[in-house]
Amino acid sequence: MPEDDPRVQEARIALLDYFGDHLRFWGTNVLALAVVFFAAMQVHDFLSSKGIFVLVLVFLLMEGVYALVRAIFHGRMARSAIEVQPAEDIAGPLVFRLHEAARGMAGGGGSLGAGGQI
């Protein structure tokens, strides 16, 4: 399929919208977790008196790392969707084949081997 095929370009636009939405979602989560962290620091004495301050900090740290990793992953997927050609060895719609090729380029493995999650 030629690189300038309008169907491929439409599939790229759809994937960029998809990955861009996820990137914004996880970026917003990172910012929200920062706000919650500062709120937890404001009520440090109350949380310490209940014995859950450390638990709250550990939870926020774990969620922050997860959200940051997801944001980086979706950023890499968006970049890969621009550069790859649709996978020819996978049956399915053009967008799915482009998604699989982008996932392989970004180092995310194929969704067929990961429970079918896209």
DSSP 117: -
Distance CA 58, CA 116 (A): 31
Token reading at 38: 């500062």
pTM of the model: 0.75
Extents of the domains making up the chain: 6-106
- How would you write the pLDDT of the chain (118 residues) with one tens digit per residue? 555 678 888 888 888 999 999 999 999 999 999 999 999 999 999 999 999 999 999 999 999 999 999 999 998 888 888 888 887 888 888 888 888 888 888 776 544 444 344 4
Q: Token pair 């990793």 is at which residue?
A: 69
Q: Which residues of 1-32 are buried (b: 16+ CB within 10 A; e: fewer)?
A: eeeeeeebeebbeebbebbeebbeebbebbee
